[in-house]
A and B are shown apart, each in its own frame.
Chain A
């Protein structure tokens, strides 16, 4: 059974600092890994999708890396802004489903 862990569970950073969010998973037999953003009481916004054959993906200030063999992914958010405050979810795709971590709850302090 796939287990996905996200560390730290919560963090606060001052505006302008870079954010580093970690995700680990126990079964390396995945098809892809996806990072989502979730605002309180809202749905999921897909940020980045990394296929299993890829090492990283970038979109604007966001960069996600994937090391499938060691079961790790890292999401980097450069020059954080108060609008980046949200919960970030990591999900890995197995055969039929996504397995989610519990999220990294981020607060960016102005």
Chain B
């Protein structure tokens, strides 16, 4: 029961912005969009999350469409160390209780020199 759809893979040139799309057309009003990444042989790393407003932190920006059916993770200046599998996840929150975090297949991003 896949709640998100991401491209299997994408390449990005070093120094350029990497724009990673994610479709979540069945997202509910209480579900947040999360992004994690996993560099080879390491545990996943939290990147960013949001509900409906665009978010930015030191790692990336998250752009969520107004209807919340899709989002884009932006790595502003990709480096070789950004090569990883990127996971887009929707996760519900009801009152103060969070739903479990479930990972899909993700997008394999390769940053090339």
A and B part of one assembly: no
Binding site for A on B (CB under 8 A): none
Residues of A at under 8 Å CB distance from B?
Answer: none
